[in-house]
Chain A
């Protein structure tokens, strides 16, 4: 482990990352943060001078997908930069220490760096049955999160589960899973929704914190606006096909092969807000819609419930079977009213004929 007081840029030079690569990283981060290019110099000088803050990465009820996303960077220098931005003291999936040693490292950070370190949380926290469904080193996820997150300078909720419980909290939510904001209300949390979250956005949040000394501007869900401020549909490379009226009708049909819009396949791009089309995943290689699959809106709140079914335009109507779409119900109701009207009309005509008392005077 590098000494804590060593500067970030010094650590990078030790690893053989040259100035040019460093500047490319700063430019990429500035662009991801939606800042004008003149901020590149400010970002670079701030990162050069910064004393690496300590970071601990907690994993609770998760699939390690967010850790994988940040570790599976295909471009090693960028991975180095992201990993070396901070001094990672605790991360179960990558740390060398184990057992008591690992716990001692976490305890040391909480005590010695109190109020100065950053915490990243991945996975949901179970509250049901006193939180027995997730324990680490004999302590419940809730007690660990309370101790670590309430003493941190800031907490980053990485991915859908840490934000609001994600897949684990989807109905019927047997473990009573919640996100970090609900479990530890006193923690200062920024939510990075997504399943997984995009490591470029995580890095950008850290860079913003190191450059400006504060977390970036957020929306009503405490998600950074630079990443969640725009609708996917408005940035999508297939948008021109949408406006032109050219749609994939079936998987593998002509439209699908030609890269037409996936709107009719249930793409949730028009609902979802995320920066996938511009930042993309795996070092800018691709993202779901580019790869030919509709967006499922994974960056949105409670998307497992609200954006499902993933291959239909609209949610199912409660009380009807999963095969019955809202359109079928609507057409059924309209047809029933039309039928009832015809029957009523015939009956009214019969009544008019059968009237024994004189009805309205006929002209």
Chain B
């Protein structure tokens, strides 16, 4: 590399060793993000199955020693603990993780995020042909995840309240026993059950849009939730870091 002329930047087009459209291997999803993602997937799967059985025991045991419901409830409680742990890990990572997993990327507080949401709505509703690429979450997805995190929190609160109705420590009792006095326990149960279906609907939509956007962006989006890495064109990466600042 020769010396730079005055006013010429090291990153200017002429001095780039390769074109800006070539992808850069970028570490987007850190380990706690991926671990909490898959633990939540696993836990919701187990919780939904055992929870549905607890709502409507569709298998009626013939044997008196099968303890089917007792086992389902036990698995439900264990999976619930895993779910809460994964949720708390993700909440913690909101504050210590990188820019793409920070809580700032979820709240639509900047004009740019509202514009991005409009772009995504236009893309999904076929008003726009092309997708605006993002390194992390697009603004619409981020708001959807925020909603899902809220639903998860409601599931955790209603679940622990139902748990303290029969069991629980003094701490859980102190935290949650007052709730059935405000909202009847039957409505807590109804909410706990109904929100499960929003998870079903979300999973369908989430997998579909991940495949669709991965196909459009061609940056290894699907693989990134396993490996953590996306392959982002350099100019997109630079735009993204400009926007985050």
Contacts and interface: CB of A to CB of B under 8 A. Distances in A.
Given A271-B185, A348-B212, A338 B204 contact: yes
Q: Which 7 A-B pairs have the closest CB atoms?
A: A245-B68, A330-B197, A245-B61, A306-B184, A243-B70, A337-B201, A334-B200
26 contacts: A220-B181, A221-B181, A231-B166, A244-B65, A244-B66, A245-B61, A249-B60, A268-B186, A300-B184, A306-B185, A306-B186, A313-B189, A317-B194, A326-B190, A329-B197, A334-B201, A337-B201, A338-B204, A341-B204, A341-B208, A344-B124, A347-B126, A348-B212, A357-B129, A357-B130, A361-B218
Interface string B62-83: 1111111110000000000000
Given A244-B63, A245-B66, A302-B184, A234 B166 contact: yes
Contacts of A359: 130, 216
Contacts of A221: 181
Given A327-B56, A334-B197, A245 B69 contact: yes
Contacts of B208: 341, 344-345
B194 A246 contact: no
B205 interface: yes
Contacts of B56: 264, 313, 327
Contacts of B166: 231, 233-234, 270
Interface in A237-253: 240, 242-247, 249
Nearest to A341: B208
Given A242-B69, A243-B67, A244-B61, A301 B184 contact: yes
B57 A314 contact: no
A221 B67 CA distance: 35
* B: interface residue count bin: 35 or more
Nearest to A345: B208
Interface in B184-208: 184-187, 189-190, 193-194, 196-198, 200-201, 204-205, 208
Contacts of B70: 243-244
B55 interface: yes
B165 interface: yes
Contact of A271 (B126, B129, B186, B218): B186
A213 interface: no
Nearest to A307: B186
A220 B174 CA distance: 13
